[in-house]
A and B are shown apart, each in its own frame.
Chain A
Amino acid sequence: MTSTVPRPSSSPRGTDVRPAISLRDAALSFGGRTLWEGLDLDILPGEFFAVLGPNGSGKTSFLKVLLGLQPLDAGTATIDGGPVTRGSRALGYIPQQKSFPPETPLRARDLVGLGVDGHRWGLRLRDRGYRGHVDRLLRDVGADSYADAPVGLLSGGEQQRLRAAQALATDPAVLLCDEPLLSLDLNHQQAVSSLINRQCHERNSAVVFVTHEINPVIDYVDRVLYLADGKFRVGSPAEVMTSEVLSELYGSPVEVLHSNGRIVVVGLPDATTHHHESA
């Protein structure tokens, strides 16, 4: 195994709770290059789990495995005790912000509605609580003021709140987020990350949060998986975000500074792919 980093205990709390996500000896490679292998991991309900690392380290692939869109090369992955299945109701997914074209024929409520029943065949002939459910979701994410506005005319931050409402439609046991704050302004970053935090710590969903940038969610994160160069490290932010650990992962000297509750990483080998120091 290429991981030379000693792994701390894979489960942070007691073992009497069934893990929401469980990986055993999992390995994934891409184009002949090993992204990660020998990954043993249990993520518990109500845990905010951040996945960090440079571009190409396999962060997004990690999510794709959990979404059932990418098979593992070795090992097993289970979600909520069962095998990973694509489109599982136990999963919510918030992708990167992507703007909708201005002429998309959907209002905010219709977009959220797709999260409720967009995967079903046929036309929606009877309401069956659909409208009430959508209204509730819109209120939850603070989007009721623009519920009837065309999605194509909303700002990126407003659209991303709707994405969050879509993902929460099934009250998922596991919420997977792929850089959900990217290209949002600070206000919306805070709003969206606190929404995700609420689903995690109040409604007991396990959150897997893939990001370049730990600072916007630093107050919420329980544990970190740091991927770099085919190696990884799992632990609390205090354990992982240190000069020693990151230098070992990158194989070159990296300095981690703590300032005002924020983490600043200096001297990354490929600074263009990383920006812990911004924001």
Chain B
Amino acid sequence: MDLQDIVDALFTFDNYAQLLPLVRNSLIAGAVLGLLGGLIGIFVMMRDLAFAVHGIAELSFAGAAFALLVGANVVAGSLVGSVLAALVLGFMGIRARDRNSIIGVVMPFGLGLGILFLALYEGRAANKFGLLTGQIVSVDDVQLNLLVGCAVVVMLALAAIWRPLTFASADPDLAEARGVPVRGLSILFMVLLGVSVALSIQVVGALLVLALLITPAAAALRVSSAPGVVVLLSVVFACTSVVGGILLALGGRIPISPYVTTISFAIYLVCRMVGSRRSVRRSRPAEPAVAAVTSLR
């Protein structure tokens, strides 16, 4: 395979006009998931849940692989796996330390189960690979309705709890004193996160969910702290990555996820460069040495 073959595999735009209608459903699904990922990613960042997203994704993969094996609905299997994982983390991993060790224990088990189920599955190999790395033209009308329906429910729930969840994520002690149900919100958010992960897996695959749920929000946080701007940028970045990734993948022969992850990584790099100037501008001199003396316990 010489360089020309690689370029052809990556970018081929012959018959593009004929191909486009075939991925209409995927594009709609991608845009909706971009919107969802951009929104939920902000709270994932605030609550320091990046590793949890990865852990949930592996359990979700196991659920989807099991569904594939027994001939059930893959999206439903994926949902069951990730919501179960999210609930376990929500109830057991209150503190970040505990949570990380639980994820570290549960994640490889989930991945192992998923691989077992896939090994037992005797159907099309593309189905297997798609769960891990994403698929592009497989979204039919039924799946699309399921995806969009679930995404809308999650976004409505997120809107309803937006303010108290922001409060509880930024400052849990004070939020609790103010009567915000911090623990209940934490568990509810884990469920919403679980559903979001399961939905995202359908497009970008279990291994690359972070590109949709973390990278856009992380990029937005590098360049702004105004909540409205962060929300807008995060959503725009996520939608650009997914929809742009699908459009580019259409011409080539490779899965969608390398395109999605590359676009979102490029956006992150640009935001980091822009953001580094911002933090230099705001940095201030260290507090006087007396602070260290008075803080001795």
Contacts and interface: CB of A to CB of B under 8 A. Distances in A.
Contacts of A278: 293-294, 296
A44 to B, nearest CB: 22
A257 interface: no
Given A87-B178, A103-B225, A115-B178, 17 more contacts: A86-B177, A98-B173, A100-B170, A103-B222, A111-B170, A111-B171, A114-B175, A115-B174, A118-B167, A119-B175, A119-B179, A123-B163, A149-B282, A163-B174, A181-B294, A185-B291, A186-B294
Interface in B265-291: 279, 282-284, 287-288, 290-291
A122 B287 contact: no
B166 interface: yes
Interface string B140-169: 000000000000000000011111101100
Interface of A: 55, 67, 69, 85-88, 91, 93, 95, 98, 100, 102-107, 110-111, 114-115, 117-124, 148-153, 155-157, 163, 166, 181-187, 189, 212-213, 272-273, 275, 278-279
B21 interface: no
A106 B175 contact: no
A173 B287 CA distance: 33
Interface of B: 42, 45-46, 159-164, 166-167, 170-171, 173-180, 218, 220-222, 224-227, 230, 279, 282-284, 287-288, 290-291, 293-297
A98 B173 CA distance: 10
Q: Which 6 A-B pairs have the closest CB atoms?
A: A87-B179, A150-B225, A118-B167, A183-B295, A185-B291, A93-B177
Contact of B166 (A115, A118, A183): A118
Interface hub of B162, B173, B174, B288 (most chain A Cβ within 10 A): B174
B287 A156 contact: yes
A157 B225 contact: no
Contacts of A123: 159, 162-163
13 contacts: A85-B179, A86-B176, A105-B220, A114-B175, A119-B163, A119-B179, A122-B159, A124-B163, A151-B225, A184-B295, A185-B291, A187-B288, A275-B296
B221 A105 contact: yes
